[in-house]
Structure 1
Amino acid sequence: MAGRRPAGPLSDDLTRLAELHGVATSYRPSPDRAVPASATAVTRVLAALDVDAATPEATAAALAAREQELARRLLPPTVVHWTGGDDPPAPPALAALPPGTRLRVHDEDGATRTAGTTLPPDIPPGVHRLTATTPDGRTGETHLVVAPARLPTPEGRSHGLLVQLYSLLSTRSWGIGDLGDLSELASWAGRALGTGFLQVNPLHAAVPGAPTDPSPYRPSSRRFPDPVYLRVQDVPEWADVRAPDRIHALLDRADRLRASVLADGALIDRDAVWELKREALELVAAVPLGPGRAAAFAAFVADQGQALDDHATWNALAELHGSDWRRWPTALRDPRSDGTAAARRDAAGRVEFHRRLAWLTDTQLTAAQRAAREAGMPVGIIHDLAVGVHPEGADAWAQQPYFAAGMSVGAPPDAFNSRGQDWGLPPWRPDRLAASGYAPYRRLLRALFRSAGALRIDHVMGLFRLWWVPQGEPPTEGTYVRYDAEAMLAVLVLEAARAGSFVIGEDLGTVEPGVRERLRERGVLGTSVLWFERDWEGDGAPLPPESWRADCLATATTHDLPPTAARLTGEHVDLRDRLGLATRPLATERAEAEADIGEWLAVLTRLGLLPAATPGSSQEEAEVQAVHRFLLRTPARLVGVWLPDAIGDRRPQNLPGTSDAYPNWRLPVADPTGRPVTLEELAASPRLHALMKVLRGEG
């Protein structure tokens, strides 16, 4: 009988087996230090990929099987061909085929092209089927991704605003910022401020609950937007609802919800807003669509296909059985089961309701991008793609074969977090993505690019590798799993090029060597945050503006960092100390923060970017303006302003390391005193206009 694997170093067989499946056996928290992965972590990750390495005997058998499989395989599951230039190189996998191999391409449009040993020169961009037949009669098939070699980067320079949409309330919104507010902000900012883009938080559909997880980075679905952002009054059928008493009651509740946030200091209550909007939208859904609207809805349903049916079905079943599909009746846990088909028929009305909500939200997202472009924005709305999805949500249910069971995405221990991180997001399986030609990834990107001038990808390093943490283990007991970055990038570039959009990768923190270079090679912009831009390979001094990279979005802060005013005043240090997040005495933390800010202010002064405050403004405002003058001195193609910075808000929208101790993702945009500021008040803010004058190069 085979024995259990002993604890200790990885065997040669296990190391080789892991390598052949893209599973790392060590990681580097710093360039000069390697940390081995545990045998437990490697074994459990391999098990999630359906590879048995529980014993030495099983490992040896799995290794032999994998080596034989690779030796017999004529082609990998997916092959990438980059186009552009006079003579683009052949994909390495094709160049390695035996001489005399014949190729046949079946393209997306159904056409077939036959060639000799090289790809046909007229093959269009897309994801095609490629068949290779060797002279000795062996045949192999693969997905062929044909993509432009590089995305075009934005022409000239644009400045824009970064905003968490839920936090920006107007006098018309119902207790949460909505897509009507986004359109209004775009129309005003483009025309009055000359901004080129608005970057928003992920607008993915959330997992309903009591309470709902407010984080936009743990969604139910990344493919479909959240109807909580709908502006109900802008839905055409709202005007035809014939229930005046109910409408009056709904509007009265909306007024109270809005006032509770704007006047009474309450937090944004997503659940209360959704309960209100759901009631209103059920009235709207009872109104028959006119012929044109009905045709548009039918076209949307047909275009979205099975994915929309699954999403709507999950939402309907969640109303009956709760949001965690893993606790549903057994027959309903499989989206393709007969039981699920029967349940879909029984809940046909609710399924149709959720289809309608997805369509309505899509139309308002499209309208916001149209408003931005009509206001003169060269980019428009930049949407945000979260790293993954909630394990209880619609995508995890509908796409079960593509997710690694029992695994969670996170980060290894590093200088900033000695315990590592577990984000609670199930990772995609790289083997099944490749075998499908990256079908779910392609569909996701295509859906997001429908209404995006650009797409920001959170933790873009995940296109290359992700840290998998086995369920029930601490993050230290994880290991990296590698993805086919060439294919992931090719699909990304292909879909962005088809949409006429571009891509920004959030590449902050620890980045594997070569990743930024490969992203830049394909036209993917990076992200640079002022406080982190130092000469880390030299004396650690602030990086001169001319030494910054050009292909990036440059900002002073992000949603996970303190607003600039809080950093300048040191209030972020006091906040962390009050919440017990500081790891050193308060005096030490303050001294370090003051030294850091003092160094930056000295740079700003030396460069002539920090003049004395003008009458009617404060020194703090002058310093915030100087920070953004510095960003303009860099060659960055995009310069972003965190919207709360424009009015002096001190509170971070998210404070990593907290959950109940801090109201993450529930704060409205506010002035320096913490008083919420409406969109209308923001548009009239002298402080905002003074800062945006700087961004236009006028101050």
Structure 2
Amino acid sequence: MTPTGPDGPPPAASEPAPRTPLARLAELHGVAPGYSPSPGRTVAAPDSALVAVLAALGVDASTPDDVGAALALHETATAERLLPPTLVSWGGLAPAALAALPAGTRLRVTTEQGESLTAADRLPPGVHTLHATAPDGRAAETHLVVAPTRLPAPPGRTHGLLVQLYSLLSRRSWGMGDLGDLAELTAWAGRTLGAGFVQVNPLHAAVPGDPTDPSPYRPSSRRFPDPVHLRVEDVPEYPYAEDRDRLAALLERAGRLRDGVLRKGALIDRDAVWDLKREALEAVCAVPLGPGRQAAYDDFLAEEGQALEDHATWCALAEVHGSDWRDWPAALRDPRSRATAGARGELADRVAFHSRLAWLTEAQLARAQRSARDAGMNVGLVHDLAVGVHPDGADAWAQQEYFAAGMSVGAPPDAFNARGQDWGLPPWRPDRLAACGYAPYRRLLRALLRNAGALRIDHVMGLFRLWWIPEGQPPTEGTYVRYDAEAMLAVLVLEASRAGALVIGEDLGTVEPGVREALQERGLLGTSVLWFERDWDGDGLPLPPDAWRADCLATATTHDLPSTAARFTGEHVELRDRLGLLTGSLADERAAAATDVREWLALLARLGLLRGPSGGAPASAEEAEIQAVHRFLLRTPARMIGVWLPDTVGDRRPQNLPGTSDEYPNWRLPIADAEGAPVTLEDLAASPRLHALIDVVREDGGPPGAPGGPPEPPPRVP
């Protein structure tokens, strides 16, 4: 979820010091009394926002007397508490907080495996239970997250593709890209293009609607993938389904749907695709599983447990009562109620169906990752974790105790968006996460990393703080709420290390001081996009390649930004003008965009990067410029280089245009060539333009320090 505006300088001033009892109470609970929208300027949060956010955290601050009582209660609780609910140990060393315990306090650790150790022992990685007993009789149990000090660096310089899976149709797709297409893409990209990874959009389960919200960043559940991505014919039971005529008719209809997108200019229609797939999968899931498949399915059910049962129950109830659980009969709004248990029994067939779909989708995700590794990719799939979930969906229903009621996540007003942003996503409560040892966060990460070589964290700054907006208020009436970033990072590093995966943080936009340093210290990579990399503290000109950071995924663009071809031609300005999105005059916007391009082209020319492909015919001017951009990325010390797949064929259209909903077909466009004609996976594999660009990436970008490659980045201190 990329904020609008470039990655400008971070605020120079810190949050203002609290001056009132309400502000002091807010800060004690991690609620910021103010923020810095621009360097040297601070803005106090409205009292109404502080009161509302505190209420969402279970703290009554309605009146001055309530504020005083809450302050006194917090002071008493802090004085009596031996330990916070969660502590972090990096590398198995004792947490610093233990040094503040009263002399003579007895400490014992019960590990995840049930082993009993002392706090002085070298602790294994995991989330353990620390027992403390003070001489005065006070006792405490706290969650102890033991994580490696950092994640390892990527295995040398690697390049890969970035793609929105739904946009990648093959001649076998049912109207949108699917997991069969993803497996084909990874096999081809690894073997033919030498790619080390393929990064995809979030594949989380969506909230069904009329129509369904196509954004992959407002999911029903982040824990479970969406079965709309299934390749139906690849399900092992498919050949044994009884009604062959029915399946043949569905395949024919799917072909017409696919042809409508590829040949007639229709938009991707997720709901139409799902209508066909759901009917086909109902027939396929009626086939009994063989003994081996049944045993594997039983293992999956046991492993996923309550979380899967809740998710499948929500899906079944949504078919009957609609997708907004807050409009269901009151007794069904509680996932643990007797009425919900009864409904689960009445809908047992549908609950079983949705559970089976989750298993089948996981299996095809695993197959795509195996395909990537079998093709020689050193990373494989890079999955994307959305910053939150839809308030109507399965996670918000099943995990109500962990979400802040009446709150939404967004972004504050800044120099690029005076109204701020409301993303419509309920935030997790930091106090409840800490109290349970971050259990839902751990389970979420474990599920996503199961079939991934790396995980991209959307808006990674949310591990540190999020902008909370009280329901019914504009984004300007919100405030920041802090999370225990050390604990959030420790859990992330722990789960990623267990999976042997990399982590990439999307840290675009305004980033508060210290965040990038904290991420780098723990081995997380950042995200650097060419057009945002300028000397914001100096002359504002494009950064030369040797000034870029090494610990990042470097790209020319993202799904939220114009394609590289559109940048060089200025078509992104014309598009925004047609949609009425320009904040200034068309002439001024054109001039600013032209200046931006001119400055980058000057740097590319000065570095000798503007030239035709080696050993081939000269490219067009546009292709030469796009190739030069990627030569530039390879001159940086960045450890990962990402190529936006639509850039390989000159696509003009962004996949998502922030600030629009009905005005632009966000998340519904197939990959297209420079003329706007949709391009299939098979077309991509045969595209001379694609191969010319990838040849540049392969020939010019050896590993750091190698001849012709980027300079070796400085050594990293463990």
Kept in 1: contact 2:18–2:27 (CA 8 A): no
Structure 1 residue 137 displacement after superposition: 2.2
Matched, 1:631 2:633: yes
Pairwise CA distance, 1:10: 8.0
Q: What's 1:661 paired with? A: 663
- Alpha-carbon distance, 1:207 to partner: 0.3
Q: Deviations over 1:500-539 (max 9, x none)?
A: 1010000000001000000000000000000000111111
Selected match of 2:102 from 90, 98, 101: 98
Q: How far apart, CA to CA, are the structure 1 residues paired with 2:453 and 2:442?
A: 17
- Corresponding residue to 1:37 among 24, 28, 45: 45
Please state how far the C-alpha of 1:31 moved relative to its aligned partner: 2.9
Q: Offset of 1:17 from its aligned partner?
A: 0.5
Among residues 87, 91, 98, which one is paired with 1:83 in the alignment? 91
Give me the whole-angstrom Cα distance separating, in 1, the residues matched to 2:34 and 2:465: 13
Q: For 2:264 and 2:618, how far apart are their aligned partners in 1?
A: 28
1:119-149 CA distance string (max 9 Å, x none)? 2323211001101112222211100000000
What RMSD, in angstroms, separates the aligned Cα atoms of the two structures? 1.1
Q: Partner residue of 2:332?
A: 332
Corresponding residue for residue 215 of structure 1: 215
SS in 1 for 2:433: helix
Note the C-alpha offset of 1:640. 0.1
User: 2:412, 2:421 within 8 Å by CA — same for their partners in 1?
Assistant: yes
Q: Which residue of 2 aligns with 1:579?
A: 579
Shift of 1:13: 1.0
Quick one: which amino acid aligns to residue 641 of structure 1?
A: V
Written as runs of structure 1 = structure 2, the 5 A alignment for 1:367-382 is: 367-382=367-382
Q: Deviations over 1:139-196 (max 9, x none)?
A: 1110000000000010210000000000000001100100000000000000000000
Give the match's secondary structure for 1:428: coil
After TM superposition, the structure 1 = structure 2 runs for residues 180-195 of structure 1, keeping only pairs within 5 Å, are 180-195=180-195
Report the Cα offset of residue 243 of structure 1: 1.1
Inter-partner Cα distance in structure 1 for 2:602 and 2:612? 14
Equivalent position amino acid for 1:462 in 2: G
Contact 2:18–2:24 under 8 Å retained in 1: no
Who is 2:705 aligned against? Answer: none
Letter paired with 1:67: E
1:515 aligns with 2:515: yes
Indicate the residue corresponding to 1:229 in structure 2: 229
Describe the shift of the 1:355–1:612 C-alpha distance in structure 2 as closer, same or farther (beyond 3 A): closer
Note the C-alpha offset of 1:30: 2.0
| Secondary structure in 2 matching 1:696 | helix
Aligned residue for 1:6? none
Q: Deviations over 1:580-630 (max 9, x none)?
A: 000111111001100110000000000000025764631000000000000
Residue 312 of structure 1 aligns with an amino acid whose one-letter code is A
Match in the other structure for 2:268: 268
Q: What is the correspondence of 1:640-679 to structure 2 with a 5 Å cutoff?
A: 640-679=642-681
Partner Cα distance (2:569, 2:314) in 1: 47
Matched, 1:534 2:542: no
Match of 1:504 in 2: 504
Q: What letter matches 1:53 in structure 2? A: A
Aligned partner of 2:122 in structure 1 is 122
Query: What runs of 5+ residues in structure 1 fail to find an aligned partner?
Result: 1-8
In 2, are the aligned partners of 1:10 and 1:38 still within 8 Å (CA)?
A: no
Structure 2 distance, partners of 1:479, 1:65, is 23
Alpha-carbon distance between aligned partners in 2 of 1:181 and 1:191, rounded to the nearest angstrom: 15
- How many angstroms apart in 2 are the aligned matches of 1:50 and 1:57? 16
Candidates 41, 57, 60, aligned match of 2:68: 60
In structure 2, the CA distance between the partners of 1:12 and 1:194, relative to structure 1 (3 Å rule), is: same
Q: In the alignment, what sits opposite 2:116?
A: 112
Q: State the Cα distance separating 1:669 from its structure 2 match.
A: 0.2
On the 8 A contact 2:223/2:447 being kept in 1, the answer is: yes
SS in structure 1 of the partner of residue 331 of structure 2: helix
Unaligned runs of 5+ in 2: 1-16, 702-718
Match runs of 1:6-405 below 5 Å:
12-83=20-91, 88=93, 90-113=94-117, 115=118, 119-405=119-405
Measure the CA separation in 2 of the matches of 1:82 and 1:326: 41
Task: Tell me the distance in 1 between the aligned counterparts of 2:426 and 2:204.
Answer: 16
User: Contact between 1:160 and 1:196, CA under 8 Å: does it hold in 2?
Assistant: yes
1:280 counterpart letter in structure 2? A
**What displacement does 1:698 show?**
5.2
- SS across alignment from 1:434: helix
Separation (CA, whole Å) in 2 of partners of 1:312 and 1:94: 43
Q: Deviations over 1:193-229 (max 9, x none)?
A: 0000000000000000110000000000000000000
Q: Note the alpha carbon deviations across 1:388-409, whole angstroms, 9 max, x for none.
A: 0000000000000000000000
Kept in 2, the 8 Å contact 1:611–1:622? The answer is: yes
Q: Which residue of structure 2 aligns with residue 4 of structure 1?
A: none
The residue number in structure 1 matching 2:712 is none
Percent identity reads: 75
Alpha-carbon distance between aligned partners in 2 of 1:697 and 1:415, rounded to the nearest angstrom: 41
- Alignment-mate amino acid for residue 562 of structure 2: P
Closer, same or farther in 2 for the Cα pair 1:587/1:304, shift >3 Å? same
Distance in 1 of aligned mates of 2:439 and 2:39: 35
Residue in structure 1 matched with residue 486 of structure 2 by the alignment: 486
Measure the CA separation in 1 of the matches of 2:291 and 2:162: 38
Is contact 1:10-1:39 (8 Å) kept?
Answer: no
Q: Per the alignment, in what secondary structure is the counterpart of residue 237 of structure 2?
A: helix
**Matched-pair contact (CA < 8 Å) for 2:551–2:638:** yes
1:298-350 alpha-carbon deviations (Å, 9 max, x no partner): 00000000000000000000000000000000110000000000000000000
Given residue 203 of structure 1, which amino acid in structure 2 is its aligned partner? L
* 1:413 aligns to 2:413 (yes or no): yes
How big is each residue's C-alpha offset from its partner over 1:676-697, in whole Å with a ceiling of 9 and x where there is no partner?
0000000000000000001102
What secondary structure, in the 3-state scheme, does the structure 1 residue paired with 2:66 have? helix
Matched residue pairs, number?
Answer: 683
Moved more, 236-245 or 357-366: 236-245
SS at match of 1:697: helix
8 Å contact kept, 2:634–2:700: no
Distance across 2 between alignment mates of 1:100 and 1:581: 66
TM-score (norm: length of structure 2):
0.94
> Which AA in structure 1 matches 2:654?
P
Does the 8 Å CA contact 2:30/2:481 hold for their aligned counterparts?
A: yes
TM-score normalised per structure 1: 0.97
CA drift of 1:11 comes to: 6.1
Mapped to 2, the partners of 1:10 and 1:443 lie a distance apart of: 36
Letter in structure 1 aligned against 2:381: I
Question: What is the aligned counterpart of 1:688 among 690, 693, 696?
Answer: 690
Write the letter of the residue equivalent to 2:349. G
SS of the equivalent of 2:264 reads coil
Contact 2:109 2:130 in 1 (8 A): yes
2:83 partner amino acid? L
